[in-house]
Amino acid sequence: MAFTTENRSQATAHTDEEIDLQAIASRIKNGQITRVVVLTGAGISTAAGIPDFRSPNTGLYDKLAPLNLPYPEAIFHISYFSHTPEPFYAIAQARHPGNLKPTISHAFIALLAKKNVLHFAFTQNIDGLEQDMGVPVDKIIWAHGNWKSQHCWKCKAEYPEDSMKKAIREGEVPYCQQPECGGAVKPNVVFFGQSLPLEFDEKQKLVPEADLMLVMGTSLKVAPCSQLPRLVKEGTPRVLINIERSGDIGSRKEDVCVLGSCDDGVRKFADKLGWRDELEALWSSVVETKKDDREFEGVPSLDECIAKAARQMDERLKISNGHKRMLESHLGNKLAQIKAKPTMQP
């Protein structure tokens, strides 16, 4: 990223990336940057205890190997869910946001709003932690939906909240209560093969209005959110805070890649903005008061849920193989009987 010598001379940090971040912070402080668009993904919630999807070994998709799915993303594909919803519900209790607390990265988005510089935030996460942290609901879109309501995937009938919580807690599939439907109930999260909320198209028009884009905790592998950073006008800085590089961020001269954990990155950014104490105080005020959801107390870990689901699927496979063998032997006996008896011939 190229900034003026004047900007660079204000910097106290040493690496190029820190100098660039300092220059951006100065432009926010002196009012040159007033419209920050944020895009987040699973990496801002890993510190809250939800594994991301694609990190090798620790990500959900690697962990799902024992389930022998046709491909890992199938667990979130509407066509797979429509006939095999069991794997989704087997892990739902371990990924349900009931007991989670926001991270300091969520708090940073809330602080941008408090400072009146949050133009808009897009999140791919379905945990709703931004709202818990106080990000105003008119400043954010949950592009992949959330757990706050649910309906039958087939007839679209709403399903009661308490029955849904019970199903998730027990790892059972909730089925539609409408007469003669029997479809599986699905939280209102967007699965592969489904459309994003209607307002997404409208809200993405806000991206070219940004004078800074902040991308945090996403591999930028899933469209259409992965395309949002490209909508930022040339010449406008884009900051990536992520463990690894993602998308095309780094390809423009104004881009800044702050590699490392999101929480470390936002603390670094807050230091440069002079907002660090306020950020920590805002975060603590929410984390300390957020009550645990007793409905989800003591739920098994994700690994335990997956191991249990793998055993159940194995059992089911043995049963269906057993059924197949029984039918084959029954058929074999019948054929033998038919052959043994003289049959009437025309």
Known binding residues are 42-46, 52-54, 124-127, 152, 155, 176, 181, 218-219, 242-244, 262
Q: Is 13 among the residues that bind ligand OAD (CB under 6 A)?
A: no
Contact 218, 39 (CB under 8 A): yes
What DSSP string runs through 130-183? HHHTT--GGGEEETTEEEEEEEETTT--B--HHHHHHHHHHTPPPB--STTT-P
Residues contributing to the annotated binding site for Zn(2+):
152, 155, 176, 181
Closest CA to 40 of 330, 197, 242, 207: 242
Tokens encoding 244: 């690894």
R_g of the chain, CA atoms, integer Å: 25
By CB under 6 A, the residues from 139 to 158 that bind ligand OAD are 144
Long-range contact pairs involving 52-61 (C-beta distance under 8 Å, separation at least 24):
52/217, 52/219, 53/219, 54/219, 54/221, 55/243, 60/91, 60/95, 60/302
Residues contributing to the annotated binding site for NAD(+):
42-46, 52-54, 124-127, 218-219, 242-244, 262
Q: Is 215 among the residues that bind ligand OAD (CB under 6 A)?
A: no
The yes-or-no answer on residue 144 being catalytic is yes
x-marked contacts with ligand OAD along 230-269 as a string, rule CB under 6 A: ------------xxx-x--------------xx-------
For ligand OAD, the closer of residues 26 and 184 by Cβ is: 184
Q: Is 123 among the residues that bind ligand OAD (CB under 6 A)?
A: no
Contact with ligand OAD (CB under 6 A) among 36, 54, 95, 269 = 54
Contact with ligand OAD (CB under 6 A) among 1, 48, 76, 237 = 76
Per rule CB under 6 A, count of chain residues that contact ligand OAD: 28
Instruction: Tell me the C-alpha distance between 274 and 335, whole Å.
Output: 85
Instruction: Tell me the C-alpha distance between 58 and 52, whole Å.
Output: 8
Active site residues: 144
Chain residues that interact with ligand OAD, rule: CB under 6 A: 41-43, 46-47, 52-55, 59, 73, 76, 124, 144, 190-192, 217-219, 221-222, 242-244, 246, 261-262
